[in-house]
Every structure is written in structure tokens, then in C-alpha cells.
Structure 1
Amino acid sequence: MNIHKRFVVQFFFQLTIVFILFFFLVLSFWGIIGFTIMNEEPSHDLSKAESYYFEDKITVKKNKAIFDDDLKQDAKKQEGWFLVITEKGKVIGSFRTPKQLPAQFSESELAALTLQPRSLSTEYTFWELKKSGQKPMLLVFGKENIPFILLNKVKPDVDWKEQQLALSPAALQLIKEENGWVRLVSSNGKIIDHFGEEKKTGKYSKKELLSLAKDEQNSTAAYHDDETKLTIITGIDDSILSSSLEDGVTNAAKNSFLIIIALLFLFLLLGTFWYARKFGVPLLTMMKWIQNLGSGIYEQPVDLQQQPLLQNKKGKLKRKYRLYKDLIATLTVLTETLRHNESQQRKMAKTREEWISGLSHDLKTPLSSISGFAQMMESDTYSWTEAEKKEFAGIIAEKSSYMMELLEDLTLTYRLSNQALPISKEKVDMNEFIRRTIIHFVNDPANSEKEFTFQPYEGSVFASVDPKWFQRIIDNLIGNAVKFNPAGTAITVSTSLIEQHLIVIKIEDDGIGMDNETVNKLFQRYYRGTNTSESGSGTGLGMAITKQLVEVHGGSINVKSTLKEGTVFRILLPTEGHSGDTLYKTPRKI
């Protein structure tokens, strides 16, 4: 998954979480309002509460009901009372109950209590309480039926014949105290006379009379006089109660809204810090990384304890950086490339300095010889014979040839050190390749005093080599065996396989051999003969170049030697295939 898709997935899940949180906040808002209404309404009128409201506020211990203090306060404020009765009619709890109520109810008494009409001075509300581990109980809440009390107080004061209210001072006082009202209504619904806060005037329709009893804003009672066909309606104005309830709900809504705003603000702050950590910190870290690269510091950023910022203790990418793992992988490759390039530049600079130093050192001796002989030939003090001039010219040509060879070797080793040598590999039959090389040495009259033997692998064996540069390797090794050993030395070249994967090429002789110091330093530059006065000493770079060329071909070379016994060079190369066809059954002397 690329970085674009990971960002899409990340933002999708994050926005989904935000939506879910917002949804739950809205639910919480309405839940708080609903809970407030559920708790506010009973505090103003307990008769409208549900049974579960009381189940949390009434506990039974040792067969005795205990009322919550808040429940007692609400009952006292509403001038009501409570009674808790078991299935057998026993009263196990009461609060502010009238004295005339019994402590034990019979079935008939319970029926009379629960089935009595509303037109009594006391209004009853009943709930069945079901508490876990206990038998169901009956909760009774009673309070004065104020509209019925007002009706009984007003009824004697009505002048039925005059069709008017002639209320006594006591009735007027009671109506005012209870926030009540009274109306005298004719047979056709017309309001003839009225008193109280409720300013209803005009005429009642049948629909209004039917809905009056169901109106939660009003508690009413009525009496009809059959003789005059007039009706008295009394009631209590519950608008104040409703207004108080609405105020409570409004305050709860405001508080809920403020809480949600505070939660949203807190969520915004936490979200801001989270996003800054999730997206900002990794970006700042990578910016620091890029700045380090620009400053030449080719390493990943580290903390104060010099520990990597991007990895944990197990070496794995930390969670907050995984979103950018493609970018981090690219920066890692860039860092490694720049570090490698810097290393190569330093290596090239060092090699260049060594090349210049070696060149100036190695050219000084032959140039001194050439300059000396040229000055001698130019001098008028002496008269040189033709033979002497010819000798001087030969020495100058020899030194010039040596200088050319030295320059070529220095250039070659410089290119090898900087991986700048072009290699064009081919699949070559090594038996045939080495056989032709040995024939070349055998045909050289200068090597007539040496004995050459070739021991090829019994079959064709192939390797991937550059013919030009691999020829240089074999020529150097055989040439050194010829050059540094006396007449009569036997030189043996052989090829073989190791586990069918590696070609082994051996060049061995039974000549003068080398001591341990020479063997240990043989592949170092300039170890052998930089003094051009020594015949056949070479440039001192041949064996160093040979080792470099073998390594360029993916192989290795080692040497073993013993003084007065001889030397063995062993080259290992990866094979490119072989066959069992026998080309050379026995060792061949060439």
C-alpha cells in the first residue's frame, strides 16, 4: 500500500471516529435532557413518576421500608404522604400518613383504597414495586384533592337562582392560596360567572369540556345542579408548576450544552495535539534528516541519548512513522547513496594523491638516468665513440620504456581502485585459454631454459572473464615464475574444480621460492624493485594489479612459498558450467 492509500485509510478511520464521538455527544446531550425531565417532573408532581423512580429511592431492610431523604422532601413539598404495603396487606413503611389509616389492610380495604373514585378529598396514586430478591410491594402516594376541596367549599356559596357566585371570604382566601379558579357554566356551555387567575371567558364547546379533564395543565372538579341546569367547575392553575418544570429543563439543557461545548473544546485540544504528534512530529523529524543530508551528515536523526528516532529497541519502525515508511525508505536509500558517494570521493582523493606521489617517486630515478646520459652526450668535454653513444641511447630507450610501463600500471591500478575499469566478460573455456597462453611462453626463445607443464581438468570448464584482463593475470603470474627463477626451473599450470562450482587455477614452480616477509607483502604496491638499475625488477605494481584484477572477476588469489623449494599461486573463480567430455586425459608437457 503506497503512501497515498495509507493517508486515505487513515483519514477515513479518523473521520469515522470523529463522527461516532459526535454522535455519542449528541445522544448524551438528549440523554441528559431526558434524565433531567424524568427527575424534574417527579420533584414537582410525584403522581406522574414511574415505578422505577421509586425503586431506586426506597430500600427494604429487615422487613422495613426506608425512604430516601430527597423523596421525603418532595412529598413534604407537595403535601403528600407514602405508604408501602406487602402482598399480605402489612404496612412496612410510611411517611406523613394520616392517623386513621390501619397498620394492616385486608383485601376489602385494599380494594376500597385502590378503586375509590376521584371525587374524594384525597387523591391516591399506586405503583407496584419489584425489587430483586424481594416479593412485589404496593406503594401508595396520597395527597389532598384540591379541586374537589375547592368545589365543596364553593358549592354552598353559589346563588343558583340569581346565577352568580356569592363566594364567602373563606372561599375566596382558599382559592387564592391554592392558585385556583371557579366558573359557573350554563347548560349551553356559556360561562356566566367566574373567579380566579384563569381568565377563561365566553363559552365552552363540548370538545373543550371533554378535553378539560385530560389537560395536564389543569386539575379540575365539577358539580351539576339538576334543578337550574347549571354547572360549577373548579380547578388549579398548574402553569406555575409547568413553568418551574420548563425552567428546570431549560437549565439542564443549558448546562448540558455548556458541558458538551467544553467537551468539544477539550476534544479539539486533544485532537490538535494528537494530529501534531501523528503528522507533525514525523514531518519535523524527516525535515531534520534532510537538513542533516544538506549539511553533509549522512545518518538518520538521533535523540539526546544518541538512539535512532525512527526505530524502537527491536530495530523496527515506530508506529507514528509507519505512515511515511515509503518516504523513509527513500530517504534511507538516499542517505546510503550519499554516504557511499562521499566514501568514494575520499577514496578517489586518497588514491589520486597516492598516484601522484607514486608517479613522482617512480619517475624520478629513470628521469635522472635519462637526464644524466643526455647531459653526458651533450657535453663538449668528452668525445664519445659511436659504440658509447649507441650504448647511451639503448639505456635511455630502456628507461623510457620502463617509464611508459610504469605510467600504464599506475593508471591501471588507479582505475581499479576506483572501480573505473570497464570489464567485458565472456564465457571462456579456461583449458583452451590457458593452453594458448602457455604455448605463447613456450614459443618465446628467452624461455627455452624453462620447462612448462599443463595439467588441465578432464573436460571443458568455463568461466565468465574479460579475456584481455584475465590474460594480464596469467601473463603476470607465469612471467614472474620465468623471470625470477634460474634455468631448469619446472613451471606447472593446472586447472580443476571444487564441488563443481569453483575453478582452481594453479601456477607452481620448483624455483628459488620466497621467504615469509616477501610472501606476506607480495601483493602490496611497490614492494618489489623500484630501483631501475636492477635488471628485470619491474614496476613493483604487477602483483598488486594481478590481485585487483582477480577480485574484479569475482575470484580470489593466494600464494604459498618455501625458500629453495618453489612457489604455488592458487586462483579461485566461479564456474559458468563444465562438461565431462575428455579433452586432455593426461598431463601435457608443452
Structure 2
Amino acid sequence: MKWRLTGRFLLSVVLIVSLVVFFNILLIVGVFIVQSASGGAAFHGEETSAEAVTKRFQEQIVTSNQQVMITEKGKEELIKNKAWIQVLDADGKVIYGYRTPEGVKEKYTPLDIVQMYKYNEIDHYTTVYISEKKVNNEYYSYFMGFENPYIQRKVLSYDIRDLVKLFNVGSILILVIDGLIALFIGYLFSKRLTQPLILLIDGIKRLANKDYQMNFAPKGIYKDVFYNINYLSDELIANERERKKLDTMKEEWVGNISHDIKTPLASIQGYAEMMKDAEYQFSLEEMREYAEIIERKSLYLKEVIEDLNLSTRLKNNKLTLNKKRINIVTLLRNIVIDTLNDASYANRNIEFQFSDDIIKLDVDELLVRRAISNLIYNAIVHNDEAVVIKVSVEKSQPTVIRVEDTGKGIKKEDLERIFDRYYRGTNTGELHKGSGLGMAIAHDIILAHGGEIHVNSRIGEGTKIEIVLDSLV
């Protein structure tokens, strides 16, 4: 774009200079035309003008036997120029003539000679010039009349001071007109340059005031800028829409997690108040039962708080990984066993498969355990008890860990947001309580290890989650 701006600027400068030069040329031509109309010989060369022909014609005047005449060449030249000639002696008497028209005088006084030269004394189509010829120490004057209506001769008298004054005034006038032309062209260019800038400034102000609804026509020298403004507007609209959706999700998440926290807190508070009240006499067995409930609720709250803390640290990249080389097969087997040993999930059908007994990976064992456990837990709480959950690991480069189920599947609109924070799917079961950050935590843990996580799902067919991690042989 900067080259287009520079090119337009240079073009405007060249245009201004060209117009000024063109105007000056027209002015000079006009002056010559006026001079031609006034003087009659402005555009004739020195050799071809009527006055030059008259002066040069003395070469064609000769004497023979004391008589003045013209040569044959001179006669041809007179015929060619449609001219006539009269030769006068010192007393003004015509002693020779050729092609002389009727009505001209045969003798001229000095006043007649002046009148003949200064004014059109013959007719309006003939212009007369005068010159002289010296022959044998005698001077002869001669008139040459040119029958040409386009030849005009005016006698010009002037005062040099008037010419200087005229020149000064003319110079100032030319400078003023040239300046006006330059200002006019500059105005047109600046108008074309500033109008789009005004639109751009207005658009930027609207963006600053969070008015993103704009669509400029990308044209002219600023078309790239208009295109980028439109693109920025679309992006800001999308971001604003996304922000509002995220704010809604946060509000729903805060409401859900507040409810999930209040429930165990209410149980803890209720049992603690009962145990504290002196009116109640509890047996040792009842006290242990209430203490177990309080412990279970407290552990649940602890897990929620840990999820919040871990999610925040992962999001802000403030979590230091404690990596060490482990056998990922052993870790996955222990996760499956621990899940089945939980009384809540003892009746679930969870399978474990592996391609090799030993597959070494350099990972943070606690974080990977948390990620895989979250994925298995997600498959459990979103499906009924008859669903088969399969956990597998395949040795390759890189290593692939899969968590698959044959359950309900995930809707497309949910699938696109499954790893978003604060997001809980629309088909969450009764068992799904807690922070709602499990899938987001799993996703961030895998990314923190430099791996990738992908989800494929179809409604009614189940869900498959693949984790890709680099292997260490």
C-alpha cells in the first residue's frame, strides 16, 4: 500500500508540473499569435518572410545600358510570391515596374513614400515593403507589393518602461495562475487522500467504543486497510460472541460448583451440629458412621479445590513437571485396577489392552494418572452401567493411548467444547458432580507434556479419545 500512496503522490506532482508547463506553453503561443496578428512576421523565418524577400530582392535589380531592370530569376520570384515591384530614382520617379497594378503612382514625394510604407495605400489585400539598391554610386529605392491577405504589418511604438512594467505584471500573473492550478490539483488529490482517512478514523473510533458492526467497501489506495478493518471487525464480533458465551458458561459453572460444594458442606455442618448437641446420645457405631460421611464429603471438597488450583496453574503455565521415565503400561493398569476397586464403579466393565509389556515414557506420573483417570471417569458418568470402556496403549513412534467406550456418544455441539473450562455436557449423569474441569485438566496436562489429544464420537456408537506422546526407547 505504501508504494501506491507514494505513486499517487508522485503522479499528482507530475500532473501539477505538466499542467503548469502546458499552461505556460499555451500562454507563450498566445503571445506569439498576438504578435503575429500585430506584427505580421512572427512565424516567418528570416529567409522566407515578405520583408526578408524584399531586402534580398536587391540582388535581382541590375542595370544595362544605363537602364534599371530585374533579372529573369527576379521575375520568377515575383510571380511565385504574387508580388509586384516599382523602382524609384533619387527624385521619387518610377523608372521601372513589373506586374504593377493599376492606379499606383508614377512619382512619389517623401511623404508619399512614408504613407505607402506605413499604411495600406493600394488595397486591403496588398502589403507594401520598401528597400534600396546602390548601383554605380547611385541609390535607387524600390517598392514591393505582396498580394496576400494573410500578410499584415503594423507599426508598433512602445515605451521600454511600459514593457518592463508589463513583464513584471505578466510574471506575477503567471505565477498566480500557476499557483492556483497547483492548489486546485493539490486540493483534488488531498480530498481523495483524506476522505478515506476520515472513514478509517471514524471506523477506529467505533471499534474503540465497542461498535463492531461495520463493513467498508475495500477500494481505492486504502483498500487493504479497509479489508483489514472489516476483518478485525468480524474477529471482534466473533470474540465478543465467544466472550459472552464464556461468561454465560462461567456463571453456570459457578452456580453448579456452588451447589456441588454447598451439598457436602451442608452434610458436614449437619452431622457436626448433631454430634455436638448434648441432647443426642450417639453410639460409637453411629459416631463412626457420621465421621465417615464427614470424611468422604471433606475429601470431595478437597478434590474440587485441587482441581481449581491445578486448572489455574496449568492455564497460566506455572506448573513444573516432575518428569521421570516410567513404564506407561504399568501406570495404565494400576489406574484401571484402582477405578474398579472403587465401590462406586465396581460393577463397570473396563478393559485394558497393550501391545508390549514395557513401553517407556518420560512423563510426570501423578499428572498423567490424573489425566487418564479423568478421561475414564468421564466415560463412566456419561454412560450407563452396561457400557464397555476400553483403555489401550500401543507402542509406536509416537506412543498412542486410547480411552474408548460404546456409550451414547457426544453431540457435535458438545464435542467442539468438551475440553473447554467450565463446560459440562448436556447429557451429564447423576454421578457427575465436582468442579467440571476434569476434561480441561486432562487436555492441559497432555499439552504440557508436548503431546496431542483428539476426540472422535458418534451419537449412539460411542466415543474414542486418543492421546499421542513421544516414546523413549
Q: Where on the TM-score scale, by shorter chain, does this alignment land: which range?
A: 0.5 to 0.7
Give the alignment of 1:179-328 within 5 angstroms: 219-221=130-132, 241-243=154-156, 265-266=180-181, 268-277=183-192, 279-298=193-212, 302=215, 308-309=216-217, 311=218, 318-321=219-222
SS at match of 1:371: helix
User: 1:344 offset after TM fit, Å?
Assistant: 6.5
Rate the CA distance shift 1:546–1:117 in 2: closer, same or farther, 3 A.
Answer: same
1:54-113 superposed Cα distances (whole Å, 9 cap, x missing partner): xxxxxxxxxxxxxxxxxxxxxxxx9xxxxxxxxxxxxxxxxxxxxxxxxxxxxxxxxxxx
Rate the CA distance shift 1:334–1:345 in 2: closer, same or farther, 3 A.
Answer: same
Structure 2 distance, partners of 1:422, 1:373, is 38
Give the alignment of 1:526-537 within 5 angstroms: 528=428
1:174 to 112, 115, 134: 112
Instruction: Kindly indicate whether residue 396 of structure 2 is the aligned counterpart of residue 455 of structure 1.
Output: no
SS at match of 2:341: helix
Residue equivalent to 2:150: none
Rate the CA distance shift 1:412–1:149 in 2: closer, same or farther, 3 A.
Answer: farther
Structure 2 distance, partners of 1:354, 1:412, is 20
Q: Based on CA coordinates, which of the two structures has the bigger radius of gyration?
A: 1
1:482-508 superposed Cα distances (whole Å, 9 cap, x missing partner): 999989x997532348xx887543345
Residue equivalent to 1:385: 283
Rate the CA distance shift 1:272–1:520 in 2: closer, same or farther, 3 A.
Answer: closer
1:301-339 superposed Cα distances (whole Å, 9 cap, x missing partner): 53xxxxx23x2xxxxxx34227xx6x7799789768866
Letter in 2 for 1:294: A
Give the alignment of 1:7-406 within 5 angstroms: 11=9, 14-34=12-32, 36-37=34-35, 41-42=39-40, 50=48, 115=60, 117=62, 139-143=80-84, 145=86, 148=88, 151-153=91-93, 171=109, 174-175=112-113, 177-178=115-116, 219-221=130-132, 241-243=154-156, 265-266=180-181, 268-277=183-192, 279-298=193-212, 302=215, 308-309=216-217, 311=218, 318-321=219-222, 342=240, 345-346=243-244, 349-406=247-304
Structure 2 distance, partners of 1:37, 1:434, is 109
Structure 1 distance, partners of 2:462, 2:256, is 29
Residues paired across the two proteins, number: 413
Structure 2 distance, partners of 1:519, 1:388, is 49
Do the aligned residues in 2 keep the contact of 1:555 with 1:571 (CA within 8 Å)? yes
Structure 1 distance, partners of 2:178, 2:75, is 41
Question: TM-score, with normalisation over the residues of structure 1?
Answer: 0.51
Instruction: Kindly indicate whether residue 369 of structure 2 is the aligned counterpart of residue 471 of structure 1.
Output: yes
User: 1:271 offset after TM fit, Å?
Assistant: 3.1
SS at match of 2:282: coil
Letter in 1 for 2:154: L
1:235-262 superposed Cα distances (whole Å, 9 cap, x missing partner): 99xxx93407999xx9x99999979965
Structure 1 distance, partners of 2:266, 2:275, is 14
Residue equivalent to 1:506: 402
Structure 2 distance, partners of 1:435, 1:549, is 23
User: 1:39 offset after TM fit, Å?
Assistant: 5.9
Do the aligned residues in 2 keep the contact of 1:504 with 1:571 (CA within 8 Å)? no
Structure 1 segments unaligned to the other structure (5+ residues):
54-77, 79-113, 129-137, 156-168, 181-216, 303-307, 312-317, 531-535, 582-590
Structure 2 distance, partners of 1:482, 1:225, is 141
Do the aligned residues in 2 keep the contact of 1:496 with 1:503 (CA within 8 Å)? yes
User: 1:540 offset after TM fit, Å?
Assistant: 7.8
Do the aligned residues in 2 keep the contact of 1:501 with 1:574 (CA within 8 Å)? no
Structure 1 distance, partners of 2:274, 2:336, is 39
Using CA pairs below 8 Å that are at least 6 residues apart, which structure has the higher relative contact order?
2
Do the aligned residues in 1 keep the contact of 2:20 with 2:182 (CA within 8 Å)? no
Structure 2 distance, partners of 1:151, 1:336, is 104
Letter in 1 for 2:88: F
Letter in 2 for 1:292: R
In percent, how many aligned pairs have the same letter?
20
1:207-235 superposed Cα distances (whole Å, 9 cap, x missing partner): xxxxxxxxxx9934478998xxxx77869
Residue equivalent to 2:464: 570
User: 1:378 offset after TM fit, Å?
Assistant: 3.4
Instruction: Kindly indicate whether residue 334 of structure 2 is the aligned counterpart of residue 436 of structure 1.
Output: no
Letter in 2 for 1:139: K
Rate the CA distance shift 1:232–1:452 in 2: closer, same or farther, 3 A.
Answer: closer
Rate the CA distance shift 1:270–1:461 in 2: closer, same or farther, 3 A.
Answer: farther
Letter in 1 for 2:183: L
Do the aligned residues in 2 keep the contact of 1:507 with 1:570 (CA within 8 Å)? yes
Do the aligned residues in 1 keep the contact of 2:409 with 2:458 (CA within 8 Å)? no
Question: TM-score, with normalisation over the residues of structure 2?
Answer: 0.60
Rate the CA distance shift 1:388–1:125 in 2: closer, same or farther, 3 A.
Answer: farther
Rate the CA distance shift 1:568–1:378 in 2: closer, same or farther, 3 A.
Answer: same
Structure 2 segments unaligned to the other structure (5+ residues):
52-58, 96-106, 119-127, 144-152
Do the aligned residues in 1 keep the contact of 2:375 with 2:439 (CA within 8 Å)? no
Residue equivalent to 1:158: none
Structure 1 distance, partners of 2:181, 2:277, is 102
Structure 2 distance, partners of 1:501, 1:117, is 120
